[in-house]
Amino acid sequence: MGGNSNVKLIDDNGIRIDGRRVDELRPIKIEAGVLKRADGSAYVEFGKNKVLAAVYGPRECHPRHMQDPSKAIVQCKYNIISFSVSDRKRPGPDRRSVEISKIISEAFEHVVFTENYPRTSIDVYIEVLQANAGTRCAGLTAASVALADAGIPMRDLVPSVAVGKVNDQIVLDLQKEEDNFGQADLPLAIIPRTGEVILMQMDGHLTKAEFDRALEMGVGACKKIYALQKDALARRYAIDKAVDEAEEPAGEQPAEG
């Protein structure tokens, strides 16, 4: 977080530099089943973020000493490609990617019925093709759809979004400039059916009251993203001429609030 910057990112009418209101998501696009080789896949755009996720497994766990005789392990690798950011990033994992991979892996360990597949590994790959703040949330959203596309039983889909603080206001789904000059960032992922939080990080400066407002805004937005996830899977199944199992059919614009 850049801290208490003087850069004006919200105008007097409460409109952000990309035209959104403070509680408005960027345009979101979700597509399931976009790759042939992977067992499951999804493509997601959150504004200018472009993210691809693929799932392989359950398959033999490699290296062997990581096998768990009682359940599958979920191994997520989050990666950003070299030309997805302003200055070319040298290929390969950096410390940030390692941390994000770890917390996303933990989140999915909770939702996947890992006990169904002892000794195996479920491998989730997230590739950020173009980055514009909020990539871990877009990636998690995509990976969740890819897991469903792979037919892996889960407690629920996992929508994810970041809430932040900009010009002393709580705003939803920060884009790049807001992230650079903002005052706080709070990435979240929830289980919609229970409203529980399975991923949460925060950095910057929030009073407890601001946090409460941010959490509320984030949970609400996650429900909208959830509808788009289900819709993407519904379209995918429809294309496959399979039974449409989506509970609430929804268009590109979410059904709820």
Partner 1 sequence: MSRAILSEIKKDHIHKLLAKGKRVDGRAWDEFRPISIQPRFSDTAEGSARVKLGNTDVLVGVKMAIGTPFQDTPNKGVLSTNAELIPLASPTFESGPPDENSIELARVVDRGIRESQMIDLEKLCIEPKKEVWMLFTDVYVLDYDGNLFDAATLGAVAALMSTIVPAKENDKGEDFPLPINHIPISVTAVQIENSILVDPTLDEEKVAAARLTVTTDENGDLRAMQKGFAGALSIDQINRMIETSQRLGNELRNMLG
Q: Is 198 in the site for partner 1 (CB under 8 A)?
A: yes
Q: Which of residues 115-144 bind partner 1 (CB under 8 A)?
A: 123, 125, 127, 129-131
Q: Which is nearer to partner 1, 23 or 68 (CB)?
A: 68
| Smallest separation, CB 75 to partner 1 (Å) | 8
- Determine the 3-state secondary structure of 10 from DSSP: strand
> Which parts of 97-116 interact with partner 1 (CB under 8 A)?
98-99, 101-103, 105-107, 109-110
Q: How many residues does the chain have?
A: 257
Please report how close the Cβ of residue 116 comes to partner 1 at its closest, in angstroms.
15
Q: Scanning the structure block, which residue is given the tokens 């896949």?
A: 41
Spatial separation of the C-alpha atoms in residues 230 and 72, rounded to whole Å: 25
Q: CB of 115 within 8 A of CB of 58?
A: no
The contact pattern for partner 1, residues 147-186, with x = CB under 8 A and - = no contact, is: ---------------------------------------x
Is 96 a residue that touches partner 1 (CB under 8 A)?
yes
Is residue 215 part of the contact set for partner 1 (CB under 8 A)?
yes
DSSP letter (8 states) at residue 21: B
Shortest distance, position 152 Cβ to partner 1, whole Å: 15
The conformation of residue 64, written as its DSSP 8-state character, comes to: G
Q: 147 by DSSP, 3-state: which?
A: helix
Residue selected from 17, 67, 118, 211 as contacting partner 1 according to rule CB under 8 A: 211
Binding residue for partner 1, selected from 6, 12, 64, 91, defined by CB under 8 A: 91
Work out the burial of residue 63: count CB atoms within 10 Å of its CB; fewer than 13 is exposed, 13-18 middle, 19 or more buried.
exposed
Residue 112 and residue 74: Cα distance in Å, rounded? 8
Rounded Cα gap, residues 122 and 125, in angstroms: 10
With CA atoms as reference, report the closest residue to 173 among 4, 1, 27. Answer: 27
List residues near partner 1 by CB under 8 A. Answer: 1, 3, 35-38, 48, 50, 52-54, 56, 59, 66, 73, 75, 77, 79, 81-88, 91-93, 95-96, 98-99, 101-103, 105-107, 109-110, 123, 125, 127, 129-131, 186, 191, 194-208, 211-212, 215, 219
